[in-house]
Structure 1
Amino acid sequence: MEEFLAAYDAVLGRWPVEVKPVDVESEFGTTRVQLCGPPDGAPLVLLHGGGATSAVWLANIAELSREHRVYAVDQIGAPGRSVHSGRPFRRPRDLLDWLDSLFRHFRLSGAGVCGHSYGGWLALAYALRAPARVEKLALLDPTQCFAGFRPGYLLRALPLLLRPSAKRERAFLEWELGGAPVDQGWLELVSLGAEFPSSKVVAGGRPRSPAPRMPVLLVLAGKSRAHDVRRVEANARAALGPAQLEVLTLPEATHHSLPLWPAEPLNRALTAFYQARSS
């Protein structure tokens, strides 16, 4: 655990902006949120993927915090500096209650929300629950939102799920990354996170509620091994419609290379999406 926390602090220490860590108390425990950007900037909430921690926004935070007040969250119950010491997570609604407690604490309404992978599922589920709080929604290769996992991906992940270890986590990530040039400090951090004490993951099914009412940017990883991105796009278009949905496919990205790489086109797309005024 000490090695993990040291790696976490090292990656966060390389963020190119000034960061203010804030611990938010709730009935679930303590949630660490990294604040940066102008205090009067439009709020933007960042939700990382499974096991990734808020440190994963290393390559994006300079651009995203230029005009936004960014709230980068360590998901409670997952590896990171949040502490799940209270109410347990038994169903997806508990996770949404936890996220809602953060929005209420910071008095956020009309915020931009961006989630990657499992964080994308959480972002979409919350936008459906509390549409008045979410002005725009960006989903980065989101899982379980519009299509299921590839069987091969789950098969590769099975040994890690049965006997988690840093070595197995790294091997799994390197397989999915396929040589993508991600930050090695982050890769070491996520690998160590496999041995970090965590709560049981609450997996939600695909949202069955009516489509979200806010604009949605769907960013797909062209080389994602997690799911069939063509099916994800087709199902998202059918569910959301062209007036509401913008789709960007990054051809060389993999599921786990996002959001770190390729950062430049991703940052351009996110900046343009959040700066454009909603109709």
Structure 2
Amino acid sequence: MAKLGRFKNDKAREEYMRTYRELEKQWRIPSATLDVSTSYGTTRVRKAGAGEGVPIVLMHSLGGNSLSWDHVIEDFARDHLVYMPEMIGAPGLSVQTAPLDETGFGTWFGEVLDGLGVDQVHLVGYSQGGWQALVIGTTQQARLASLTVVEPTGTLTKIKWSLLWTMIRIGARPTDKNLRKMNARLNPGVTLTDAEYAGVKAALGYSPTIGYPKMFTDDRLATITTPTLALLGSESLAINPQLAEQRLRDNVPSCEVEIVPKAGHGIFHQFPKLVTSRILDFTRRYEPTDARHGE
């Protein structure tokens, strides 16, 4: 039988749910949750905001969930309906019933949108969510009004072995001290709350099955025809920003790239107002004409 994503034991599940509830208490604005059926299981989706334009879908990073967007949700949801799915086969409240890897990301995404009754969205992916968003961009072009990727790991340039080794070592011994040390190295300028650290640690109690990001070939990048924005940190350890920029400009037909000075991989937390403003400016250009006139 093919393996499915699961918590390692009941204790791990209970601890994850405890940290999830604590983070949910800190959520800044009204929201609702929905469970959407797909071929791969039930996807938990958080919904917030309102607006007449094209909705925004936010794809979270490794170990994150729909609550990871708390620090930017007010800006995104001010004039838009925002959907935040929790990836199947990864930590969260989605429930996997069939194997899923990147060959099925597009199908899964299309079924989530169908379940939500949404035809087209602005898709935004951060870190591991950027990998998933790029994959979706190769097969679901008709469902995307725009595509934004922020620090998409492992897809445009190789992750340094030294960083991978550090992540593996800390994952094997995830003490508070080690997790804080890892965050300081990977995400300089970003300070997480105790509740956020507890959530990161609890996510390690889940055994994911969706695989890991794979390098995109030039030909594969060229299949992304959706208007695309890439935001990269000039000091990122997870990606080579200059090489990533060149690959995107050379291969993605309609792409804008911005390397943000002094930003690391944690750019979404380090400069949240700058990032959300840049994304919203970009998506606004790809709204239907009547929606733009209504702003």
Say which of 265, 269, 274 aligns to 2:274. Answer: 265
CA contact (8 A) 1:48 1:117 kept: yes
Equivalent residue number for residue 229 of structure 1 = 241
Q: 1:49 aligns with which of 58, 61, 71?
A: 61
Structure index of larger Rg? 2
8 Å CA contact retained: 2:105, 2:136: no
Give the 3-state SS of the residue equivalent to 1:101 in structure 2. helix
Whichever residue aligns with residue 279 of structure 2, its letter is: L
Kept in 2: contact 1:42–1:68 (CA 8 A): yes
Equivalent position SS for 1:104: helix
- The one-letter code of the counterpart of 1:12 is E
Tell me what 2:6 maps to.
none
Three-state SS of the structure 2 residue aligned to 1:264 is: helix
Is 1:87 the counterpart of 2:98? The answer is: yes
Aligned to 1:124: 134
1:165-224 per-position Cα deviation (integer Å, ceiling 9, x unaligned): 454545433331234234443233112211234335254331543342221111112221
Once the two structures are TM-superposed, the CA of residue 158 in structure 1 deviates from its matched residue by 2.6
The answer to whether the 8 A contact 2:144-2:226 is kept is yes
Aligned to 1:217: 229
Instruction: Report how many residues are paired.
Output: 273
Following superposition, the deviation at residue 65 of structure 1 comes to 0.9
Q: Which amino acid aligns with 2:40?
A: F
Identify the residue that residue 245 of structure 1 maps to in structure 2: 255
1:78 pairs with 2:83: no
Counterpart of 1:155 (choices 154, 162, 165) is 165
- 5 Å-filtered alignment, 1:169-248, equals 169-199=179-209, 201-206=211-216, 208-209=219-220, 210-240=222-252, 244-248=254-258
Aligned to 1:17: 29
Tell me which residue corresponds to 2:284: 275
Give the residue type in structure 2 aligned to 1:237: R
Retained in 1: the 8 A contact 2:145–2:286?
no
Contact 1:170/1:188 (<8 A) preserved? no
Distance of aligned partners of 1:230 and 1:202 in 2 relative to their CA distance in 1, 3 Å threshold: closer
**SS where residue 70 of structure 2 aligns?**
helix
Which secondary structure state, in structure 2, belongs to the residue aligned with residue 24 of structure 1?
Answer: strand
Shift of 1:160: 4.2
Q: Distance in 1 between matches of 2:147 and 2:268?
A: 15
Q: Say if 2:120 and 2:143, in contact at 8 Å, map to a contact too.
A: yes
In the alignment, structure 1 segments of 5+ residues that lack a partner are none
Q: Which amino acid in the other structure matches residue 228 of structure 2?
A: V
The separation in 2 between residues aligned to 1:245 and 1:12, in whole angstroms, is 35
1:105-157 per-residue CA deviation (whole Å, 9 max, x = no partner) reads: 12322310000111111111111101100010110011233212122211212
**Normalised by the size of structure 1, how large is the TM-score?**
0.88
Question: Is the Cα contact below 8 Å between 2:232 and 2:241 reproduced in 1?
Answer: yes
Q: Within 2, Cα distance between the matches of 1:260 and 1:178? A: 10
CA distance in 1, matches of 2:194, 2:279: 24
Q: Aligned partners of 1:272 and 1:184: how far apart in 2?
A: 33
CA contact (8 A) 2:89 2:209 kept: yes
Structure 1 partner of 2:10: none
- Superposition CA RMSD, Å: 2.3
Measured in 2, the distance between the counterparts of 1:147 and 1:198 equals 23
Note if contact 2:64-2:91 (Cα within 8 Å) is conserved in structure 1. yes
Structure 2 gaps of 5+ residues are 1-12, 290-295
- Deviating runs (4+, > 6 A) in structure 1? none
Deviates more, 1:3-12 or 1:123-132: 3-12
Aligned counterparts of 2:199 and 2:146: Cα–Cα separation in 1: 30
| Pairwise CA distance, 1:266 | 0.9
